[in-house]
A and B are shown apart, each in its own frame.
Chain A
Amino acid sequence: MNFADIIRQLQQDTYGAGAEPVAGVFGSSMGSLGLFLPELLLCLTIVLLLLVRLFGADRFVPPYWTALVGALAAFCAAVAEFYGLRGAAPETSVEMFTGLLVYDKLTVFFRLYLLLFLIFVVALTILSGIPDNEDGPDFYTLLFGSTLGMMLMVAANHLLILFLAIEMASVPSYAMVGFLKGRRKSSEAAFKYVVFGAGTAGVMLYGLSLLGGLLGTLEFPVVAERLAVAFSSAESVSLSNPAFATLLLALLMVFVGIAFKLSLVPFHFWCPDAFEGAAAEVGGFLSVASKGAAFALLVRFCLAFSTVPGAELDGFGLYLGLALGAVAAVTATFGNLAAYAQTNVKRLLAYSTIAHAGYMLMAVAAMMVLLHPPEGTADLDGVAAAIEGLLYYAFVYLFMNLGAFTVVAFVRNEIFSEEIDDYNGLVSQAPVLCVAMLVCMFSLVGMPPFGGFWGKLEVFAALFDAGRLHWFMWLVLVVGGANTVFSLFYYLRVLKAMFIAERPENAREARVRADSLQGLYAIVVSVPVLVLGVVIGPLAATVRNVAEGLLSAVASF
């Protein structure tokens, strides 16, 4: 193959002209770029935002309109692909850009997820007034850049892209955390976040390079094959084999990087500080979007290492699942216990975020255990159920966590405080915000009839199923159940302040009416939490379809 051929192939892959048809809404004529349309629209929006600023047009066209239109356009493009989810979706995955990215149902689902969330966040920032008009272009550029990085994360099909995407998502978020300029806490939080992020990124990169060296490839689909070749005998899967020790070390290092994004214990230290220092809007964005994207990435990464059945590494996959289960149990427990001592609502929500990362990680752990049973073959239905649980949880989490941060942001605008004590008796002045908070928090606890319950039930069901293969998962399930009870305390502390305590005489007024824009926004965000807890079937069936698609595409069972 000469150079010209390579260039031609690259062209075909990118533009699709004359290439073999690429399944997707945009047909064969557009190639990878066509499938990449939502991301391209985000890029275009970023350029527009900067140009508008350059020519001073932001005095006439507020930057948030540009941002909102851009996000909506990208969302519409992704919706067009969403309709492929339940109908003419690509039944197998399609590789984009010569295998760097993958376009499958999971990609489509998470694109939609991230863009929907982006619209909500932009709308929230418009209503809450952070950032102001002056800073708008900067803020939205960072926001869109970070989202773009996350969209690459969910589509990553290559270890290099994994790293680049995580960095692309992280770097703008460092700046967003420090966006409240001139506030000591904010700068400190951003600094802490950067140092931590840079450290873990370095470790992860080292791990990736070890993997690359060990396997001779960076592409996800090939990883499993190479692993099977490298560790073909039972003897090779032992610590006395340097190659195996290197593999363990490399995986550990990569997990450090992912664990940082997920704020898993013990890589969670940045999270409370960053959330407390950052504006509530940024906190909401980081807690939902980066979690969702990182979990999609984690699932892809884990599946990449477990697609060859009957290999000697099967036991290894089981232990990987158990290890994830242990980390999940510790994370959930730590997050919930630490949240109890908080007096600042944002800090409390930060610990709650940590705890929820723990719950969601339980689903991944269950997935790994179910995929690598100690004996017999894997029950793919069970594996799909575990992924379904994770996706459902993540989707409900979008609304319930955003709702909680929304209330924090709106209340902050009224009373200039984020301390729980200053929330006392708010129900008499801003009932709509309090009821929205109630819905979101009880959903976070996992109480029916709110969506969080079904997410949690699916995760617990997967854990139970996995527990039949290895008892340790039952232990994780018990820890998860106990955590549900722990978590009740601190969520109730906020609700108790809002509903049961009396509003002090000299407290600032926080009148938010249900028919104000803020009130409507709070309703719009919290109603889905209730709906997803009652009308469960459609979303559950959709995410099951995504999970099965992912399994059929990735696994060669």
Chain B
Amino acid sequence: MAALLFAIIFLPAAGALVLAFFDDDAEDGIRWTGVSFSVATMVATLLLLGGFNYEDPGIQPLVQADGQALESYVYAHEGDVLFDGEVNPVGIEIDEEGVVRNADGEEVEGAVLLAAGDVVHNGKVAEEVTHDGPLEAGQFRRGFASEWIPHWNVYYRVGYDGIAVPLVLLTSVISFLAMLASWSIKKMVKGYVILFLLLETGMLGVFLALDFFLFYIFWEVMLLPMYFLIGVWGGPRREYAAIKFFLYTLVGSVLMLIAMLMFYFYSADASADGSKIFNLLELARIAKAGGFDQNVQLIAFVLLFIGFAIKVPTFPFHTWLPDAHVEAPTPISMILAGVLLKMGGYGILRIAFPLCPWATQAAALVLVVIGAVSIIYGALAAMAQTDFKRLVAYSSVSHMGYVIVGIAVWKLGESTAVANPDQWRMGLSGAMFQMIAHGVSSAGMFFMVGVVYDRVHHRNLNEFGGLTLKMPLYSGLAAGIFFAGLGLPGMCGFIGEVAVTLASFSYSAFLAVVVASGVILTAGYILWALQRVYLGAEYKGPHEEALVPMNGRETLIAGTLLAFAVVLGVYPRLILDMMDGSVGLLVENLAAGYEAVAPAAEETALAP
């Protein structure tokens, strides 16, 4: 398993290294090598599913002292009983007094009541540890870790949970499809494919890293290739767009760096042995126990949130996105919208929330407002565009707004940390699903724009029309993908949006109205765009003769994306089942983390 994770992260980089020795002119060979490495990576990520334990909401895999991944273990739920090496054996029940009885009603001895989160392996409750000392037999560690910079406590630590796995799969699939879409790149193919593969390594690393430092490294590693991919292979204003993208993200990274240092130094005060750590799991545990006080949490949360919000991007930080999208070549737009934006959302869920539970609640209202503004603003801006690609770009701002709303609808109860945990869970699940759905549909939409741009070399919405007659297959597939983006029931966009909208009801009815109206605006701009591009009697722009039907490669890409959009829309449990447990665990931990810090605040407030 360690090897598999290593392979997933570094296969693309290995491909880049291999390609460095290729002859510059062997363009087709370079492209196919690139494709084969991205296919290999995709296969590796699919293998990940084989070892995925749907019952275990925590970070996987569980690793034994000898470093081997544990294949079979059971994750206990609240009230489970362990008896004779079996969890909840037939006939064993707990009565009202909490006594364990067998089918005959007799009290049984040697039964162990399990708590949620206990791990049972070989008939024993495993003592679960995540610290990085040497493991003794019977001890376990989540994910894989090996020393990197010993005296700074930096580890190469990777693992995944239900939140990361869907995104890893999305990344590898979208990367593969984008690589297939890269035949339109004619200039310096070798450099392009090398950078593309390095980018893929960065993205996969971000989703699998469990050490803050490692996460940061991958986060930054992905910046360099992206800058050049936009800057060298982009459109006319590519230099401007590329540096804008770089600059925005770097600002976010610097803020994240400062937050990382904060946690590193403050963890020494809270951890058992006074050591400073970058371990995200351990940091989250400290935060859950209330180890970071309110000021630290608030400052760190603001720093982290801005850093990630730039990437998402949400309303005030979004201005890099339309420029980057419009100038980037089609496959890179697919990657940008399909994967890169998700890294922001993932960062919030993996780092900002678990490490600052109190601040998350304190900022919930602000987050919700930011998300709602993004939804409405993005939709209105999309409606005003005449550039096809810019329209799709603004639609991303709008769609990612749902993600922010969904993750932030954390309402306090009178006496509990969460008023209606199920609602919030739904919001989080909806947000996660929305990320995946948006990854599929926006990559598809950008690809569809790219197909027509490759033919007629313009994207002016007012100069299209009548494409249905000229390219019927293309138009049909495009209509399907755009409907997925619109959120048509039965397609992937619907599930996420409706879950977020419903969840937002429990937070505030007014919010739900705002969020729901976003759905209407989305329908407005997408239908209008479809009408201007695909319907109508005749094509109004230049290069009419170039409007030839799609070739097989293009059909394959569009068809795959549409198929995903339909499958996820019809059977969302494919993803939801995977992340359900992890999302629930996140809610529990955040609530516990909030309660650990909140009372302390009231006491200090009362103190003179």
Interface positions of A (Cβ within 8 A of B): 442, 447-449, 453, 457, 460-461, 464-465, 468, 477-478, 481-482, 484-485, 488-489, 492, 496, 499-500, 536-537, 540-541, 544
Contact = CB atoms under 8 A, between A and B. Distances in A.
B220 A447 contact: yes
Contacts, number: 74
Interface in B244-262: 246-247, 250-251, 254-255, 257-258, 261-262
User: What 8 A-B pairs are tightest by C-beta distance, nearest first?
Assistant: A481-B254, A448-B217, A464-B261, A448-B220, A537-B149, A536-B149, A500-B231, A500-B232
Given A464-B258, A496-B231, A536-B149, A485 B221 contact: no
B353 interface: no
B264 interface: yes
B224 interface: yes
A485 B254 contact: yes
A61 to B, nearest CB: 39
Nearest to B276: A461
Contacts of B261: 460-461, 464
A499 B232 contact: yes
Interface residues of B, number: 33
B299 to A, nearest CB: 10
A448 B254 CA distance: 12
- Which of B148, B261, B262 has the largest number of chain A CB atoms within 10 A? B261
Nearest to A537: B149
7 contacts: A460-B258, A464-B262, A485-B254, A496-B231, A499-B231, A500-B231, A537-B151
Contacts of A442: 224
B220 A492 contact: no
A91 B231 CA distance: 53
Given A448-B216, A464-B261, A499-B228, A540 B149 contact: yes
Interface string B493-533: 00000000000000000000000000000000000000000
Nearest to B234: A500
A453 B228 CA distance: 20
A468 B265 contact: yes
A536 B217 contact: no
Interface in B143-160: 147-152, 154
A496 B242 CA distance: 10
Main secondary structure of the interface of B (DSSP, over half): helix
Interface of B: 147-152, 154, 216-217, 220-221, 223-224, 227-228, 231-232, 238-239, 242-243, 246-247, 250-251, 254-255, 257-258, 261-262, 264-265
Nearest to B238: A500
A442 B220 CA distance: 11
Given A448-B220, A485-B250, A500-B232, A492 B151 contact: no
A481 B258 contact: yes
B148 A537 contact: yes
Given A496-B243, A537-B150, 14 more contacts: A447-B220, A448-B216, A460-B258, A477-B258, A481-B258, A485-B247, A485-B251, A489-B243, A500-B242, A536-B148, A536-B149, A536-B154, A540-B149, A540-B152
B472 to A, nearest CB: 39
A460 B224 contact: no
Contacts of B147: 537
B377 to A, nearest CB: 26
A540 B151 contact: yes
Contacts of B148: 536-537
Nearest to A484: B254
Given A492-B246, A499-B228, A544 B220 contact: no
Contacts of A488: 246-247, 250
A481 B257 contact: yes
Contacts of B242: 500
